[in-house]
Structure 1
């Protein structure tokens, strides 16, 4: 299921399929532990890959379609760097903020927690669809999680705040950082 696909309706599993599924999960966790991996609830959470950094506007955008959305710096987004794998539809915590959404018009990750939806480079406000991403913040950066991702107060997107400039904002000029320091997982 991708960021633009509504959730499918799930039916109630039979007792047999439930027990077989539980046995498979248990075997998978035992195998991971035997290989030196760790079995944690976080390792089993729903995640979506193909989230990328745009070199033109510094926005986090979804790179899983034949086109690359609309960039506020002109044309389509230009992917570079890590392939981010972001958690969705999990409970919010003191170090993970919910209400981050995919915009169907520009493909950017934006915050959907205000009465308005920010400024979209394709015109008007962003348009949410798909998963409710729950993004980690204010935790240590690791070799597989990059810090310095921020919320833009002008256009509401997630953008990278690790360069001397702040990219291009759909609301004009550069992005304006506020709030948490998001630390986003990648591979």
Structure 2
């Protein structure tokens, strides 16, 4: 398998993947066709040319991170397959298209060590010796970029608050509804730590 966007490409042609969604999740995604970007790769930043992005000192980001309406976790939606959802079957995308920074330094309001799990496709925290519990079984398995995610900053029209770390399974999940989703260990996710504020288009 070859590398795509920092991940091992699963079988199938990602360009053939057609998005679909149901009801709105605090807003609709826009610009889903925008590419995975990074100034160093001379790619296109969402709605911005590479030259303009470079002049603005933009950081490398990856899009197609989505909210799963079944388990409430954040997962990567860029492949024809959609990973493994703890509530059964594959993840089901809804709402915003999150565009997440990677490969930059950690700050007082941005936490490093967030990774893509190649087994379940969820975003999980890789910074502990214990790698959590994956819906596909066993611990999460990191691959690709190391994401550095903003937290405890104001939400805006293009940055959504209330994303949290689940201390049980280690994934990022949306905490903004009374229903806290479904954890791979059974029951609801359990929030701990920072309140993450994720950029989206």
- Structure 1 Cα separation of the partners of residues 168 and 6 of structure 2: 23
Question: What does 1:37-76 align with in structure 2 at a 5 Å threshold?
Answer: 40-41=56-57, 44-76=58-90
TM-score by length of 2: 0.75
- Structure 2 Cα separation of the partners of residues 180 and 59 of structure 1: 16
TM-score by length of 1: 0.81
> How many residue pairs are counted as aligned between the two chains?
159
Gaps of 5+ in 1: 7-20, 22-26, 33-38
1:112 aligns with 2:123: no
1:28 aligns with 2:51: yes
Using the TM superposition, give the Cα deviation of residue 171 of structure 1 relative to its aligned residue in structure 2, in angstroms. Answer: 1.0
Say which SS state the counterpart of residue 124 (structure 2) adopts: strand
Instruction: Answer yes or no: is the 8 Å Cα contact 1:110–1:156 preserved in 2.
Output: yes
Gaps of 5+ in 2: 10-41, 43-49
Say which SS state the counterpart of residue 116 (structure 2) adopts: strand
Partner of 1:173 in structure 2?
A: 187
CA distances 1:116-155 after superposition (whole Å, capped 9, x unpaired)? 1000001000000000000000000000000000000000
Using the TM superposition, give the Cα deviation of residue 2 of structure 1 relative to its aligned residue in structure 2, in angstroms. Answer: 1.3
- Structure 1 Cα separation of the partners of residues 61 and 88 of structure 2: 29
Task: Determine which structure has more spread, i.e. the larger CA radius of gyration.
Answer: 1
Instruction: Answer yes or no: is the 8 Å Cα contact 1:3–1:102 preserved in 2.
Output: no
Runs of 4 or more above 2 Å deviation:
none
Say which SS state the counterpart of residue 182 (structure 1) adopts: strand
